[in-house]
């Protein structure tokens, strides 16, 4: 069973690129160290210059737990805090069908 998360990350005005840069260590960590993280995709909002979207898909609940308790995750909050206008908005989802599942 896969589990997905959609997160909205909002930067301070004009600091979206800084927020993207602060996310890079996590993107690299997931790529190299989280085999049960199926997708971890950072995207720019096409209509709001201060918004990023993060699409996450995990193979199981254990993969989410490993991701969310990693040392890199603990560091991520401090790294992104200067550029974030608010805490991330997190939406938990359970995929039910579609291409790529």
Alpha-carbon span 75 to 94, nearest angstrom: 27
Sequence-distant contacts of 76-79: CB under 8 A, at least 24 apart: 76/22, 76/23, 76/25, 76/26, 79/22, 79/25
**Helix, strand, or coil (residue 88):** coil
pLDDT digits (tens, 9 = 90+) for 23-60: 999 999 999 999 999 999 999 999 999 999 999 999 99
Q: Which domains are present in the chain?
A: 3-93 (3.30.70.100)
The two beta strands, 51-58 and 89-93, are unpaired
> For residue 13, what is the DSSP state?
T
pTM exceeds 0.75, yes or no? yes
Q: Is pLDDT at 79 greater than 90 in this prediction? A: yes
């Amino acid at each position: 069973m896969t589990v997905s998360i959609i997160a909205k990350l909002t930067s301070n005005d004009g600091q979206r690129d800084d927020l993207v840069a602060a996310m890079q260590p996590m993107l690299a960590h997931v790529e190299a160290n989280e085999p049960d993280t199926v997708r971890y995709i950072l995207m720019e909002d096409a209509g709001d210059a201060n918004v990023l979207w993060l699409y996450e898909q995990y193979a199981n609940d254990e993969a989410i737990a490993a991701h969310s308790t990693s040392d890199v995750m603990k560091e991520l909050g401090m790294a992104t805090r200067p550029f974030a206008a608010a805490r991330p908005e997190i939406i938990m989802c359970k995929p039910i069908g579609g291409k790529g599942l």
